[in-house]
């Protein structure tokens, strides 16, 4: 019997659009997380807060909610000297999201970058493909233990790291993998590229070749560029596509960081994002449940 997470892929391939959730860092900082502190540790120390964020997104219309495990690899947690708690914090993160998700909702296990450079680009020894795969496999095993329905390999910048994460997930358990990369807008060329020069079309093809079931973009400049990126990906694949961009660019005032786009301004871009061929839509940095509520309204209005 196939895992329930495969229903996500089936529904997307049948033409349905699903709503993802919004920013977690934004919500955690609003709840008191200090700059430089470990967000994943809150799965233990502030479980009620994390569970409440999940519930707020569910109430706003999210059909898929993410775990609070973006920086949950051992390589990343070692920076806080808690790498030995990798399995515990990831499994707990999955359980918190699972507890908040309704019976018809889905939980995506968030797997973000390690912040360690691959050998090809590092000034020090760097990280080998095998080391990447080992650390991502440990995280994926813990997320699966906690009950996720699919994996969200996200905000990846290096192709080696992205493909290693996808491979690791696929070796752990038979669950779908949604994989997204971070794109920079190159104003001088009027184009979107990864940090290492890959086009959206290149990324879509490489992530799918690595085994991803849903591909796309997240973070970045905002929904205006997400529309262009998804359109370019759609030209080279009929696979399900996902986009959850930032709420525009960050604006720093003193010690305070806000983002350009409020909920209404952001949601106005989403009809064009759906027209570009996107199948899963949400939001990233700077967004909150109100952003998702209005994005979900756009999606529902298209079903009428």
Contact (Cβ atoms closer than 8 angstroms) between residue 243 and residue 273: yes
pLDDT digits (tens, 9 = 90+) for 206-226: 999 999 999 999 999 999 999
pLDDT digits (tens, 9 = 90+) for 44-67: 999 999 999 999 999 999 999 999
**Residue-level pLDDT at 294:** 98
Q: Domain boundaries in the chain?
A: 6-302
Report how far residue 232's alpha carbon sits from residue 202's, in angstroms, rounded to the nearest whole number: 10
The tally of CA atoms less than 13 A away on the side-chain side of residue 252 is: 2
Model confidence band, residue 122 (pLDDT cutoffs 50, 70, 90): low
pLDDT digits (tens, 9 = 90+) for 140-172: 999 999 999 999 999 999 889 999 999 999 999
Three-class SS of residue 109?
strand
Report how far residue 10's alpha carbon sits from residue 7's, in angstroms, rounded to the nearest whole number: 5
With a pLDDT cut of 90, the percent of the chain lying above it is 88
6-302 folds as TIM Barrel (3.20.20)
Least Cα distance to 221 among 195, 189, 259 occurs for: 259
Kindly provide the residue ranges of all beta strands, DSSP E only, lying in 197-282, ordered along the sequence: 214-219, 241-245, 250-253, 256-259, 280-281
């Amino acid at each position: 019997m196939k895992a329930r997470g495969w229903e996500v892929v089936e529904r997307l391939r049948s033409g349905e659009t699903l709503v993802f959730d919004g920013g977690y860092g934004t919500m955690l900082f609003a709840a008191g997380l200090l700059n430089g502190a470990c967000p994943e540790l809150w799965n233990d120390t502030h479980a009620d807060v994390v569970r409440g964020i999940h519930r707020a997104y569910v109430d706003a219309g999210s059909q898929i909610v993410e775990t609070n495990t973006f920086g949950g690899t051992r390589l990343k947690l070692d920076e806080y000297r808690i790498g030995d708690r990798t399995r515990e914090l990831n499994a707990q993160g999955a359980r918190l999201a699972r507890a908040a998700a309704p019976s018809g909702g889905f939980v995506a296990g968030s797997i973000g970058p390690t912040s360690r450079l691959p050998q090809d680009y590092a000034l020090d020894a760097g990280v080998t493909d095998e080391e990447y795969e080992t650390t991502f496999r440990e995280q994926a095993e813990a997320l699966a233990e906690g009950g996720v329905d699919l994996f969200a390999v996200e905000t990846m910048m290096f192709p080696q790291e992205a493909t290693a994460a996808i491979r690791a997930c696929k070796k752990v358990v038979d669950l779908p993998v949604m994989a997204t990369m971070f794109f920079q807008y190159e104003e001088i060329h009027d184009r979107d590229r990864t940090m290492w020069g890959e086009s959206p079309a290149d990324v879509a093809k490489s992530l799918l070749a690595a085994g991803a079931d849903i591909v796309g973009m997240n973070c970045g400049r905002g929904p205006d560029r997400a529309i262009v990126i998804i359109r370019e990906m759609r030209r080279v694949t009929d696979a399900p596509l996902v986009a959850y961009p930032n709420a525009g660019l960050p604006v720093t005032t003193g010690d305070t960081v806000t983002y350009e786009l409020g909920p209404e301004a952001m949601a106005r871009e989403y009809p064009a994002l759906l027209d570009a061929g996107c199948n899963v839509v949400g939001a990233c940095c700077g967004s909150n449940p109100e952003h998702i509520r209005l994005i979900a309204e756009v999606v529902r209005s298209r079903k009428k």
